[in-house]
């Protein structure tokens, strides 16, 4: 039976240099040559993950913003799904920025982003340039965002997440970005990577039992639980390992995903 291989990026498919190694790229392409499909499911926006989509030469739908955007990159797709939440929450968080000990707040959709302090803008992290037009204000953010990211110091991240959930948990989900950045992502309530995969399964009349999913962070928990076979990375959190069907023998820094697939799919 051919599989849909759902892959998280940071801490899973990407190594410690935030790159897809030659071995991992080769293994995924081998899997596709054998008739399996590969779907990226990430918390990143498309502009920060497009290079990996192109590197793997994918033609499948992609899940961005932890499930808030399901689209077919660079193409018009009648089944595209984008879910937003009330922009007033963004303005509330801006007012609480100092109390929450946040470095910056950025609101995004599939096309653009706005950041409240250009001094914290990093073109590598945003995979873009920024001008004064990208400054987040009540005037610039005229429509509901698909995603909001906030950054704090690593030691504050857990308490910030708990405070955001307490205040806005009835309207939004709060997830970690994963990887080296101490960033939280906020998306609409009920939005998880599993939500994005379920949409793809429905559109293509697939069976979720034919999904093998890989992840390492708590924002991958629902995806691994949803998939027919969920695999946690050796470097993953205890939370994601608890719901997984299996755990890779090697971490992302040692091509753990590739090593697992080579055996699982007999490549």
Residues 8, 10, 220, 255: which is the catalytic one? 8
Tell how far CA 232 is from the center of its chain: 15
Helix (H, G, I), strand (E, B) or coil at 84: coil
- Determine contact, residues 173/66, Cβ cutoff 8 Å: yes
Number of C-beta neighbours around residue 41 at 10 A: 28
Rounded Cα distance between 49 and 9, Å, is 8
Rounded Cα distance between 148 and 104, Å, is 10
Residues with Cβ within 8 Å of residue 88, at least 6 apart in sequence = none
Pairing of strands 62-64, 69-71: antiparallel
Residue 8 falls in the annotated catalytic set: yes
**Residues with catalytic annotation?**
8
């Amino acid at each position: 039976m051919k599989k849909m291989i759902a892959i998280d990026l940071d801490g899973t498919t990407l190594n410690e240099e935030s790159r897809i190694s030659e071995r991992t790229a080769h293994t995924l392409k081998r899997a596709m040559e054998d008739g399996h499909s590969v779907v990226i499911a990430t918390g990143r926006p498309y502009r920060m993950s497009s290079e990996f989509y192109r590197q793997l030469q994918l033609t499948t739908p992609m899940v961005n913003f932890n499930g808030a955007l399901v689209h077919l990159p660079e193409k018009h797709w009648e089944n595209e799904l984008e879910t937003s939440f009330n922009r007033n929450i963004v303005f509330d968080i801006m007012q609480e920025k100092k109390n929450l000990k946040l470095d910056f707040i950025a609101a995004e959709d599939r096309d653009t982003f706005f950041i409240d302090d250009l001094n914290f803008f990093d073109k590598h992290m945003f995979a873009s340039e920024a001008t004064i037009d990208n400054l987040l204000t009540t005037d610039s953010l005229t429509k509901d965002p698909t995603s909001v990211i906030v950054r704090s110091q690593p030691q504050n991240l857990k308490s910030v997440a708990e405070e955001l959930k307490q205040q806005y948990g009835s309207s939004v989900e709060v997830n970690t970005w994963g990887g080296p950045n101490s960033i939280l992502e906020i998306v609409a309530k009920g939005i998880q990577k599993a939500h994005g995969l379920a949409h793809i399964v429905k559109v293509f009349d697939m069976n979720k039992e034919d999904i093998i999913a890989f992840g390492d962070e708590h924002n991958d928990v629902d995806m691994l639980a949803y998939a027919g076979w969920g695999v946690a990375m050796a470097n993953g959190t205890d939370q994601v390992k608890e719901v997984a069907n299996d755990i890779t023998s090697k971490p992302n820094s040692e091509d753990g995903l590739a090593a697992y697939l080579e055996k699982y799919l007999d490549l």
